[in-house]
Each structure stands twice: as C-alpha cells, then as structure tokens.
Amino acid sequence: MVRKIKKITYWLLTFLVMFITCLPGIWIFISAFRPNAEILSKPANWFPDNWTIHEFTQMFSIKGYVSVPAFDYLMNSVIISLTSTVIAITIGMMGGYAFARFNFKGKNTIFLGLMLARAVPGISLSLPLFILWAKLGLINTSFGVIIVYVAMNVPFTIWLTDGFFRQIPKEMSEVARTDGCTRLQAFWNVELPLAGPGIAAAGIFAFLLSWNEYALASVLTRTIASKTLPIGMMDYLSEFTINWAGMCAIAVVMIVPAVILTFIVQKHLVSGLTFGGVKG
C-alpha cells in the first residue's frame, strides 16, 4: 500500500514538472494559430474557437510582405548560424584535439583563458565591438555577425571535443600510424569518426547559441540585410502595443528548427557535456 502511494506521488510530481515545462511552449503554439482578437478576449477561452494561419501567411507572403519580413530574417538566421557553426566546429575541433593529445607549455592557463573569454557577457562585448565594427564597415553585414559568433562558440567547442578525443585511446591512432598513415590520415580515418557524436553535440550547441543570440546581434544588425529572427521578433513590439499573435507565430518559426535539430542528436548531447567536464 505504502509503495503504491509512493509510486502515485512520483507520477503526480513528474506530471506536474512536465506540465510546467511544456505549458509555456504549448500556449505560444496555440496562440500563434488564433486571431489576435481572440487572444485579447476576456474571460479567456482556453482553446481557440477558430484556427487560423493568418500570421504565417502574413510573414511569408511572396508578393511583398505585409507585416514583418520573416522570410528574410529566417534566411539570415539560417545562413549566419550554419556558417558560424561550421567554422567554429572546424577551429574548435583543431583546438580540442591539440588539448587532448599534445602537451605544451601553459596548456592549463590557455584552456582557462579560453573559457574565461567565453564568460564575458555579450552586452559588455557589444559596446567596443559596435565601435570597432562601425570603423571596419562590418555593421549590418552577415559577415560581421558570423565572425563574432565563431569566436563565441570556439571555447565551448574546445571544451566538448577535448573531452571526446580523450575518450579515444591514443593507441588507435598509433596503430594506424605504424601501418603507414600520416598523423592527419590517422586523425581523419580513425579518430574523427569515433569522435563524431561529440562533434555533433558541439555543433548543436554552437548552432543553438548563434540561432538564439540577441544581445550582440541587436547592436550589430540594422536592416533585413542581416537581422536575425530574435531581432526580427522585436518588430512586433511597438512602444505601447504588442502584436501577440504575430510574436507567437515568429516564435514558432524560431523554435521548430531548434527542436528538430536537438531531437536528432539529443542522445549525444548529455554525454558530450559530461565527458568534457568529468574526464577533462
């Protein structure tokens, strides 16, 4: 009897936790498909009377956008996030490999220094970057944002991949090299495939950071030439009113790719984080 009560309590608690976790997202999702008038109605109706994709057609209409040029923002987001992720992973992986395999002077100091560089808050960094990027003509260009995101993502990628490369026995690469591979070939054919899951995890984290970043992008971007979705979202916010339905709709556009990508590699995310830390 006692065990049964215990079990039921566990389930109830779990349900509560999951409910609180999911509710805000579900509410946004529902709100994205209901007309603005219904959102403002009082007393509230919990479930939409009539579903509509009005806000989405407004955002993505081909014949010149009506409200917010969400398609341009989406494209900017995709280009900026993907490019910066690929570059950050390449650079970070090289660094992670070096930290895992070689001993050099000041190794621990450099590692800590890299991590601390990542800890600088975006808004503090944005002030000098804004001035310097303006001088270099990089304001409002995708390129300017990409460089910043690469540097933001490199330290964390190093931390993750370092942990994964450590998991791979050194001997595997040595065996490959006695069989006549060069170090690069051994890396490419033996170690890289084995570290694949870790690199995928690092990639997702880098992608999510770029996809979701606001503080820096809000300063470095100006128009549809480079504005990303988080910045574009603010278009629905005017001084005194908010277009709630529109904002919810763009939120859905933002969250769906992130969710899909994360689910694909979610199994490796956790092991990636813990390897990096525990065995580092």
- Per CB under 8 A, which of residues 193..212 are in contact with another protein? 208, 211-212
d(CA 162, CA 100): 5
Q: How many residues bind another protein (CB under 8 A)?
A: 87
Q: Does 248 bind another protein (CB under 8 A)?
A: yes
Q: Which of 60, 65, 71, 244 is close enough to bind another protein by CB under 8 A?
A: 244
Nearer to another protein, 88 or 176 (CB): 88
CB-wise, 62 or 278, nearer to another protein?
Answer: 278
Region label for 256, one of left (φ > 0), alpha (ψ between -120 and 50) or beta (otherwise): alpha
Among 1, 3, 4, 24, contact with another protein (rule: CB under 8 A): 24
Q: Closest approach of Cβ 16 to another protein, in Å?
A: 10
Give the x/- contact pattern for another protein in 81-120, rule: CB under 8 A.
----------xx-xx-xxx--x-------x-x-xxxxxxx
Of the candidate spans 55-63, 68-76, 121-129, 172-180, the one that interacts with another protein by CB under 8 A turns out to be: 121-129
- Segment 134 to 163, residues that bind another protein, using CB under 8 A: 147-148, 150-152, 154-156, 158
Among 25, 169, 193, 196, binds another protein (CB under 8 A): 25
| Region from 40-48, 51-59, 64-72, 172-180 binding another protein, contact rule CB under 8 A | 40-48
Bond from prior residue into 128 cis (ω within 30 degrees of 0): no
Q: Which two tokens stand for residue 163?
A: 């942990």
d(CA 213, CA 40): 30
Work out how close the CB of 57 gets to another protein at its nearest, in angstroms, rounded to a whole number. Answer: 22
3-class DSSP assignment, residue 242: strand
Q: How far is the CB of 1 from another protein (least distance, A)?
A: 18
- 137 phi-psi bin (left φ>0, alpha ψ -120 to 50, beta other): left
Q: Are 211 and 258 in contact (CB under 8 A)?
A: yes
Residue 215 engages another protein in binding (rule: CB under 8 A): yes
For residue 51, the minimal CB distance to another protein (Å) is 19
Report the SS3 class of residue 216.
coil
Strand boundaries in 91-172, DSSP class E: none
Taking a C-beta distance cutoff of 8 angstroms, is the pair 210, 89 a contact?
Answer: no
Both tokens of 55, joined, read 């806000």
CA pair distance 219, 222, nearest whole angstrom: 8
Please state the closest distance from residue 247 (CB atom) to another protein, in A: 6
